[in-house]
Amino acid sequence: MIRKGEYTIYNGEEYRFIESKSKGFIELISNNKKDMNYGFIHYKDNIYTKVISLNEVEKLFLIHSFAKYKGELFGASNGGKGKIILATPHLKLAERYGFKRTDKYLYSKNVNLDEVEIIEERKLFSLD
């Protein structure tokens, strides 16, 4: 699974989050119903949320994922059912690996998850 976005660690678990409307707070997002046992509330479908103070977490970080495919790094997105969507703006790479043009300056290709190595880049940041 490809992960992108803002994450934090709360009570030893990693959660996605968004800024809360209240200054100094964030809203944790979970897809695990068991988190309702820890004060999360049902938002909709399989989404559960909990508003917490920034003081309750040690750090905030951004995750950006890449896929290593045949020795090259590509942008990556979830493609569903064991597939990953690789993307590049570089024409030469796209031609070399059989990518199709999907936008004016973007080339993409669906590959099986077992054909790539997922690399997560994490960067610390703050909401200040």
pTM here? 0.81
Q: What is the pLDDT of residue 88?
A: 98
Residue 63's pLDDT band (boundaries 50, 70, 90)? very high
If one compares 39 and 22, the residue with the highest pLDDT of the two is: 39
The answer, yes or no, to whether residue 73 has pLDDT greater than 90, is: yes
The answer, yes or no, to whether residue 1 has pLDDT greater than 80, is: no
Q: Quick count: other Cβ atoms within 10 Å of Cβ 114?
A: 8
Q: Would you list the DSSP string of 100-114?
A: EEEETTEEEEEEEGG
Please give the share of the chain, as a percent, with pLDDT higher than 70. Answer: 100
Residue 12's pLDDT band (boundaries 50, 70, 90)? very high
The answer, yes or no, to whether residue 74 has pLDDT greater than 80, is: yes
